[in-house]
Structure 1
Amino acid sequence: MAKALSRFTIERGGDDYVIHIEDEDGDTLELTASFEQLDLISESLEEHLAFDADDPDLLDEDEDEEE
């Protein structure tokens, strides 16, 4: 079963980047990624967010109140 994301950070670590992903239980996964890999992740996130932006079920209650 998938765990909920609690937080994540990205830091520069030499020529690569270090990504820390923390789950709801406080367990942290540490990954290294190149600039190119982070760019691919960014593009994928943008595509998913753009596609899902029109889905009212995905909007936070705070966003509904602001509109």
Structure 2
Amino acid sequence: VRIFGMVNSAPGFVQQPAIINGFSDLILELWGPEAGAHARSAVGMAELPFGMPVEIEGEVQIAD
């Protein structure tokens, strides 16, 4: 239901939402527009653990 994407970014880089779009597109392709619908945030970070370029955090709802 919610995705939070963190992008390892250099100063002045402002395209974080475009980077996280790829993850949103994947979720929608895997689960379709109804089950895959989600809210999303994308932010830039000066550094991420282990030098990762992107970190994604998600909340999902599992229906019976």
Q: TM-score, normalised by structure 2?
A: 0.32
- Rg: which structure is higher? 1
Q: TM-score, normalised by structure 1?
A: 0.31
